[in-house]
Amino acid sequence: MKVIVCSTPGSLTYEERQMPTLKKGFSLIRVRRIGVCGTDLHAFDGTQPFFTYPRILGHEIAAEFIEGDAEGFTSGELVTVIPYISCGSCIACKKGKTNCCSSLNVLGVHSDGAMAEYFLVPSSLLIKSQGLSIDELALVEPLSIGCHAVDRAEIHHGDDVLVVGAGPIGIGVIHYARLAGARVIVMDSNAHRLDFVKEVLGIPDSINVSTQNASEVLSTMTNASMALIVFDATGNLNAINNGFHYMAHAGKYILVGLQTGSISFSHPEFHKREAVLMSSRNATRFDFEKVIQSIKNNEVNPIDMVTHSVAFNQVVFDFSSLTQPDQAVIKALINFD
């Protein structure tokens, strides 16, 4: 079978590998779609934390079940995959927080992912399609990250929520913050993405940090209170540090994006707000199921954010273009059909 290997930063190559050998506790799937996420792009650029080369990328998965010991699954049915392998015995796992297991193994990051024609996965990580299309299934994982972050924030109806970063993860946060009853304000430096948020998602309030004074505009929008809840979905150090200035008194700041440096902020300013700083990592099965249900209920349309499709046999040649600003990529899917 053919796989795509990221051998060094900036290098993707096709390789021929043997078909995976079926074993107890695992199932064989035929990959149909892979969503390209920030993690893949950062790995390609050489800026992804907790990453080693060579690596087969890909963890936003839509596939067909072929065979294995996954109970209740039949050959040919569509599935998605929770790409986080947890130990089940650490303190986080015992508390049900398998998404931040102390020895977490993320497919496509810590071990090989699904940019391959066939893939062997732990049977316990499979999730039924429940009627979702192949493209929709490939988008469940990134939406689940946004869903998980919003649940962490404990939003109340009418809260002013600022989402910094209007990429796919930020879009997930936007969807579920709005479903939680928030008034959502979106901040980005990319005019194309802000236009998408306004025209496609129907979010009227946005701030372009490239052309506007972000703090002043946000203050005006919130009657000088600033945002009660701020999400960073950029993973950009400068944006993360600036985000502390956007918090209201009694506010919360949730870091969804990840970067390699050290954040810094004024302790007195943070302290006087009795602010809360938290991270949000990955997602749980509960989040995956919630996202699937919201798509089935037509509360979220994930296909709206798909702007590019790349054939599997063209990925090695076209992948670098997905990192170029002039391509205006919001979400790309790799198509194996």
C-alpha–C-alpha distance, residues 218 and 324, integer Å: 29
What is residue 245's predicted lDDT score, i.e. its pLDDT?
97
What is residue 132's predicted lDDT score, i.e. its pLDDT?
98
Q: What are the chain's domains?
A: 2-138+301-335 (3.90.180.10), 150-279 (3.40.50.720)
C-alpha–C-alpha distance, residues 96 and 83, integer Å: 16
The strand ranges marked E within the chain are 2-8, 11-16, 26-36, 60-68, 78-81, 84-85, 105-106, 118-122, 126-128, 160-164, 183-188, 206-208, 227-232, 247-255, 276-279, 306-311, 331-335
What is residue 231's predicted lDDT score, i.e. its pLDDT?
98
How remote is the C-alpha of 108 from its chain's centroid?
13
What is residue 48's predicted lDDT score, i.e. its pLDDT?
78
What is residue 46's predicted lDDT score, i.e. its pLDDT?
83
What is residue 126's predicted lDDT score, i.e. its pLDDT?
98
Q: Residue 88: how many CB atoms within 10 A of its CB?
A: 10
pLDDT in tens, 22-65: 999 999 999 999 999 988 988 898 877 778 899 999 999 999 99
Predicted structure pTM score? 0.96
What is residue 39's predicted lDDT score, i.e. its pLDDT?
86
The β-bridge partners of 36 are: 332
Confidence category of residue 17, pLDDT binned at 50, 70, 90: very high
What is residue 259's predicted lDDT score, i.e. its pLDDT?
84
End-to-end distance of the chain based on CA atoms, in angstroms?
15
Confidence category of residue 190, pLDDT binned at 50, 70, 90: very high
HEC-encoded secondary structure of 278-310: EECCCCCHHHHHHHHHHHHCCCCCHHHHEEEEE
pLDDT in tens, 228-255: 999 999 989 999 999 999 999 999 999 9
Mean pLDDT of 68-80: 96
Average pLDDT, the chain: 96
Q: What is the DSSP string of 175-233?
A: HHHHHTT-EEEEEES-HHHHHHHHHTS----EEETTTS-HHHHHHHHTTT--EEEEEE-
Residue 156 and residue 248 in contact, taking contact as beta carbons nearer than 8 Å: no
Identify the weakest region by mean pLDDT among 229-238, 255-264, 269-278. Answer: 255-264
Q: Which residue reads 């303190």 in tokens?
A: 91
C-alpha–C-alpha distance, residues 84 and 120, integer Å: 14
